[in-house]
């Protein structure tokens, strides 16, 4: 019984890490930060707009809205066949991510997108010392390694490096 709890807790922790990465990259990719996509849902005006329609799930609505555009850009650059990326993951993981983001209170993730610097520092923490650089699409690992700590660190490091160097990187996972 304790082993099942540890596995569940470990999986939840990795899903929270993925959710954090998605939120950070979604925020940093917006027009007001690095301009990878033309959205502005994490701005004061964007959040007020979402608050009117989604008063209890503002952050979830922002992440979902930006993720749609981010997914399109990633799919254009990487392709869809045989690959997954931060904004298009296997269905079960997408469901878990949605639940984690939805269950978090609006304030739980808000410090992550309080400023561009705070978001970059959040990616630094997720990368945890990993140094990986690339421009354009870059394979991280097979999909079965998606939720491993090394793969999550590497993915965060690619994004962090791209944002800091004013380039674009699109880390992805392949079906093996």
Query: Mind listing the pLDDT tens digit for each residue in 19-39?
Result: 999 999 999 999 999 999 999
Distance CA 51, CA 44 (A): 10
The string of pLDDT tens digits covering residues 70-126 is 999 999 999 999 999 999 999 999 999 999 988 876 566 777 888 999 999 999 999
Q: What's residue 9's pLDDT? A: 72
| Angle between the N-to-C axes of helices 44-53 and 58-78, in degrees from 0 to 180, rounded to the nearest 10 | 110
Q: Is the model's pLDDT at 136 over the cut of 70? A: yes
Domain boundaries, the chain: 2-128
The model scores a pTM over 0.85: yes
């Amino acid at each position: 019984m304790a082993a099942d709890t540890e596995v569940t807790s470990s999986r939840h922790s990795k899903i929270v890490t993925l959710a954090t990465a998605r939120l950070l990259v979604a925020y940093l990719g917006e027009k007001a930060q690095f301009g990878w996509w033309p959205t502005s849902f994490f701005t004061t005006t964007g959040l007020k707009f979402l608050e009117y329609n989604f008063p209890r799930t503002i952050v979830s609505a922002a992440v979902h809205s930006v993720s749609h555009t981010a997914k399109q850009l990633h799919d254009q650059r990487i392709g869809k066949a045989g690959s997954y990326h931060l904004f298009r993951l296997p269905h079960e993981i997408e469901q878990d991510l949605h639940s984690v983001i939805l269950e978090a209170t609006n304030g739980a993730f808000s410090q992550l997108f309080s400023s561009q610097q705070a978001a970059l520092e959040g990616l630094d923490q997720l990368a945890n010392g990993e140094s990986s650089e690339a421009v354009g699409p870059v394979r991280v690992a097979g999909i079965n390694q998606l939720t491993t700590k090394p793969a999550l660190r590497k993915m965060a490091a690619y994004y962090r490096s791209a944002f800091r160097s004013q380039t674009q990187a699109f880390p992805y996972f392949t079906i093996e």
